[in-house]
A and B are shown apart, each in its own frame.
Chain A
């Protein structure tokens, strides 16, 4: 048998997903100087980059420039992108095993975590995941409608996603119109009647998951006053002791910012963004039509657990907060894929340092790997996926060195291309995507926006001159 990883037989790797973890892994694989590697990357969408396109907020364009680094990876002649090709639909596990030495699943977290409280699924109660995907123009979510005629909205959770959602709801039309927010969202939000947005944290300000620049930005909005309640942002004894012992400067800074907001006199702007801490929603209250009418909140106090982590527990006191719309932003959750062992508890693929583990033997499955949010869970900024992907690639290289790779019967580039052509004749190449990208950017330039996004797959395919009815 020819040595795998040479000119005669390159190491053939399939990567499922094209988000940050997929690109960081591809980059690290293609950088190996003593190995010849070929990477084929598949995404179910015609557009690459995962949550960089479909998650990162439209008013945070700078963060999206990370795609320049991904473009460089895609330039490598040993890299190919197959967009609009879905694992589990257009390609199966068996297809991949037949064509690749190694398979890397980097499919991110496609769903949302549930809170497990009554009324969670009432009309006008939405996961933040759906709202985010809608305003970012994800084709699967463009048809959604959010009742923005409501005046009062609650966002549950105080992570950075909750902050994004609250900020998007508070931006003025002029602020939004400078971004690449989906046209349907720009239009719907321009008619928004929202006056108050509540952000609800179950612990205190020192434990909030959001980061400092994100909270700071909320204090600088054109059309919204930011409000915090002095008693809720004052440091309790447990948090103070913890901050003093640990010297967590970032947490200290967040608390100071919020205490500053609590001291601010409102300027009478059009909207108010109100931070609440130490409250846990225990029920979404409905009206007689089954629509959201409010949230029942249990008030909490904090205590330090044995391991030093600060947790909340109910004091027994409750409060009803009248709101007409709820966004649950308590985290994303990974979805299973056919033929890939799944860990229900964490919502991740069953893995050890990125090697997929067989649930029966509890040993690694030869040739199968995972990286990013579907490997460790939905946590971390874009860059966090780099050390994560590198760890996985190191396992892949170690396994190659010991000959633990799949033995594909069709380890040539052309063969999989033929198969994809059969299964999904409208697949999108990286050059196709670059063409779409140019069109989006040109359409944006005309109106002073970074781009105007395609939000329908049919429109993307039509713009590429593909046969849409196929």
Chain B
């Protein structure tokens, strides 16, 4: 199974923000849509990613955080994926490197974001399916 099969059942809406936006706006969007991360875009290019964790980490150091701009708090070295990526490999990378959201690009075009939850769920579905199908065969043999 590939990342594209996860993206196919996700909402077409991708939540993004600009690097110059105040952090308060980022928090408002995260809260309104009940999501954990925003992709930071400038001139249609991805320049960063900002997550709940980034914000909490920054807030712990600087309580006046919400007046600052997104670009000062975001992660700028964003790891990205492609639709043809193997699900298993991505899951391994997300687990080992401890990040929870992966923007998926086709060249420069942002296609969507998959969360570790999405990937785990798809992987589980695949395992469950294989087990179920195996079971059918075994029952027939037995």
Indicate if the CB atoms of A387 and B12 lie closer than 8 Å.
no
Indicate if the CB atoms of A307 and B89 lie closer than 8 Å.
yes
Indicate if the CB atoms of B140 and A65 lie closer than 8 Å.
yes
With both chains docked as a complex, state the minimum distance between the C-beta of A55 and any C-beta of chain B, in angstroms: 13
> A387 CA to B123 CA in the complex, in Å?
11
Q: What are the residues of chain B within 8 A of A384 when measuring CB–CB?
A: 125-126, 128-130
Question: Does A343 interact with chain B (Cβ within 8 Å)?
Answer: yes
Indicate if the CB atoms of B88 and A246 lie closer than 8 Å.
yes
Given the contacts A65-B136, A309-B85, A357 and B129 also touching, CB distance less than 8 Å: no
Q: What are the residues of chain A within 8 A of B102 when measuring CB–CB?
A: 307
Question: Does B132 interact with chain A (Cβ within 8 Å)?
Answer: yes
One of B3-11, B30-38, B46-54 contacting the partner: B3-11
Indicate if the CB atoms of B9 and A309 lie closer than 8 Å.
no
> A246 CA to B126 CA in the complex, in Å?
18
Question: Does A448 interact with chain B (Cβ within 8 Å)?
Answer: no
With both chains docked as a complex, state the minimum distance between the C-beta of A27 and any C-beta of chain B, in angstroms: 12
A-contacting residues, B60-98, CB 8 Å: 79-82, 84-86, 88-90, 92-93, 96
Chain B, residue nearest A331 (CB): B2
Identify the interface centre among B5, B84, B90, B134: most chain A CB within 10 Å of its CB. Answer: B5
> A252 CA to B11 CA in the complex, in Å?
36
Contact of B129 among A348, A351, A377, A383 (CB under 8 A): A383
Q: Is the interface of B mostly helix, strand, loop or mixed?
A: helix
With both chains docked as a complex, state the minimum distance between the C-beta of B115 and any C-beta of chain A, in angstroms: 13
Q: What are the residues of chain B within 8 A of A310 when measuring CB–CB?
A: 86, 89
B-contacting residues, A102-130, CB 8 Å: none
B-contacting residues, A356-407, CB 8 Å: 357, 359, 362, 375-377, 379-388
Given the contacts A62-B140, A307-B79, A377-B5, A386 and B12 also touching, CB distance less than 8 Å: no
How many B residues have CB within 8 A of the partner chain?
Answer: 42
Q: What are the residues of chain A within 8 A of B84 when measuring CB–CB?
A: 309, 311
Contact of B8 among A69, A348, A362, A385 (CB under 8 A): A348
Indicate if the CB atoms of A346 and B12 lie closer than 8 Å.
no
Contact of A379 among B2, B90, B93 (CB under 8 A): B2
Question: Does A308 interact with chain B (Cβ within 8 Å)?
Answer: yes
A-contacting residues, B1-59, CB 8 Å: 1-2, 4-13
Q: What are the residues of chain A within 8 A of B137 when measuring CB–CB?
A: 62-63, 65
How many A-B contacts at CB < 8 Å in the complex? Answer: 123
Contact indicator per residue, chain B 96-136, by CB within 8 Å of chain A (1) or not (0): 10000010000000010000000000001110111111101
> A383 CA to B8 CA in the complex, in Å?
19
Indicate if the CB atoms of B12 and A350 lie closer than 8 Å.
yes
With both chains docked as a complex, state the minimum distance between the C-beta of A347 and any C-beta of chain B, in angstroms: 9
> A383 CA to B127 CA in the complex, in Å?
9
Indicate if the CB atoms of A305 and B85 lie closer than 8 Å.
yes
> A377 CA to B139 CA in the complex, in Å?
29
Identify the interface centre among B84, B88, B125: most chain A CB within 10 Å of its CB. Answer: B125
Q: What are the residues of chain B within 8 A of A449 when measuring CB–CB?
A: none
Question: Does A455 interact with chain B (Cβ within 8 Å)?
Answer: no
Chain A, residue nearest B2 (CB): A379
Q: What are the residues of chain A within 8 A of B7 when measuring CB–CB?
A: 346
Q: What are the residues of chain A within 8 A of B13 when measuring CB–CB?
A: 362
Indicate if the CB atoms of A352 and B140 lie closer than 8 Å.
no
Chain B, residue nearest A250 (CB): B88
Indicate if the CB atoms of B133 and A387 lie closer than 8 Å.
no
Question: Does A286 interact with chain B (Cβ within 8 Å)?
Answer: no
Q: What are the residues of chain A within 8 A of B126 when measuring CB–CB?
A: 380, 384
Question: Does A324 interact with chain B (Cβ within 8 Å)?
Answer: no
**5 additional contacts (CB under 8 A) given A306-B79, A308-B96, A309-B90:** A63-B136, A309-B93, A352-B9, A382-B133, A383-B136
Q: List the interface of chain A (C-beta within 8 A of B).
A: 62-63, 65-66, 69, 207, 242, 245-246, 248, 305-311, 343, 345-346, 348, 350-354, 357, 359, 362, 375-377, 379-388
Interface CB pairs A-B, < 8 A, 23: A62-B137, A63-B137, A65-B136, A65-B140, A207-B86, A242-B89, A306-B79, A307-B80, A307-B82, A307-B85, A308-B93, A308-B96, A309-B85, A309-B89, A343-B8, A346-B4, A354-B9, A376-B6, A376-B9, A379-B5, A383-B131, A384-B128, A385-B129
